[in-house]
A = this chain, B = another copy of it.
Amino acid sequence: MPRRVTIDDVARLAGVHKATVSRALNEATRSQVRAATVERVRAAADELGYVPDVVARGLRTKTSMTIGVIIPDLMNPIFPPIVRGIEHVLQPRGYTALLANTDGRDAVELAAFESLVQRRVDGFIVATGRLGAQPAVERAHRDGVFAVMVNREAGSAPYPVVTNDSESGMAAAVQHLVDLGHRRIAHLAGPRDFSTTRARADAFAAAARELPGVRTRVVDAGALTTEAGQRAMDELLARGARRPTAIIGGNDLVALGAIRSLHAHGLRVPEDVSVVGFNDMPFAADFSPSLTTVRVPLREMGMESARLLLAAIEMRQLDARTIRIPVSLVVRDSTGPCCE
């Protein structure tokens, strides 16, 4: 492994001291160096293919032009679009995104934070928010590290949040089903310690209270996966009671799991049961049947979170406001009129 070209190599070739090289190559200090010298240094650096060592530099400057992005579950298709939005803002401004996948496990999340903090990331974009205590986020805040929560809020640390308007999304979903004639609607709720899925469950309950003629039920899916959705639907169908004519999933994966369960029980969607999802994840339109869902502008949420973080880094302070991105219902084939 050939030795790296260092600042000393450049200094030797240019016939100056390494401090001069540092100044000449560094935007902010370039004015302190004579133009001719700058040119000489530049030529030498080019010739040797010198690239400053960001690690050594970070040891000095405590900065790295790098943003850590903490993702709870890469297998959930809502996160790739968010990541793309983040990168879309970061890249033109010279920042690199370093992704870490935590698998939803606290220990892994802590390790990822640790690892990235040590690598001197300039800030975090965190998609693993939970309403309960969250050691990693709390610790980051205590250490004065900048972070922005995206999609889910954090319960503990006062960080800015970019999330979506789950309440009005749920209201729209319920209204859509009622308009179709449905009077028995169940919600397969996601975890109550995610701000998004809790808001949806709360909004579902609120909507139910305002619609006296509608019978509602909530079943906890436990996790935001197809498997959890399928299990919850299985369980709901196994109960003796009259089954609901419409289902609203805590997210698209849960809704998809519900559809799998319904199909497995020989029920048709939407003829026997209508299903609504949440997020409009990639491929939601390609499912069988295509999924009626609440569209969340995932990419825009990613972009906004990156903008917020960079602004905080540059102004050296962050205000913990919450940005709530509007959502809209997308009607497809998984919902239909009730009881025809």
A119: Cβ under 8 A from any B Cβ: yes
A114's nearest neighbour on chain B, judged by CB, is: B51
Choose the segment among A28-36, A92-100, A178-186, A233-241 that binds chain B (4+ C-beta atoms closer than 8 Å): A92-100
Q: Which residues of B have CB within 8 Å of A84?
A: 74-75, 101, 103
Using A1-B144, A96-B111, A98-B100 as known contacts, list a sample of 16 further A-B pairs with CB atoms less than 8 Å apart, ordered by residue number in A: A2-B144, A56-B59, A74-B80, A74-B84, A75-B80, A75-B81, A75-B84, A75-B282, A84-B103, A97-B101, A99-B99, A119-B119, A256-B286, A260-B286, A286-B287, A286-B288
Query: Chain A 105-130 against B: per-residue CB contact (8 Å), 1 yes, 0 no?
Result: 00010011011001110000000000
Q: How many residues of A contact B (CB 8 A)?
A: 48
A158: Cβ under 8 A from any B Cβ: no
Is B282 a contact partner of A51 (Cβ separation < 8 A)?
no
Is B91 a contact partner of A83 (Cβ separation < 8 A)?
no
Given A260-B286, A286-B288, A288-B286, is A51 in contact with B83 using a C-beta cutoff of 8 Å? no
Report A253-290 residues with CB < 8 Å from chain B CB.
256, 259-260, 282-283, 286-290
Q: Which residues of B have CB within 8 Å of A226?
A: 286
Chain A residues packing against B (C-beta within 8 Å): 1-2, 51, 53-56, 58-59, 66, 74-75, 77, 80-81, 83-84, 87, 91, 96-101, 103, 108, 111-112, 114-115, 118-120, 143-145, 226, 256, 259-260, 282-283, 286-290
Q: Which residues of B have CB within 8 Å of A145?
A: 1
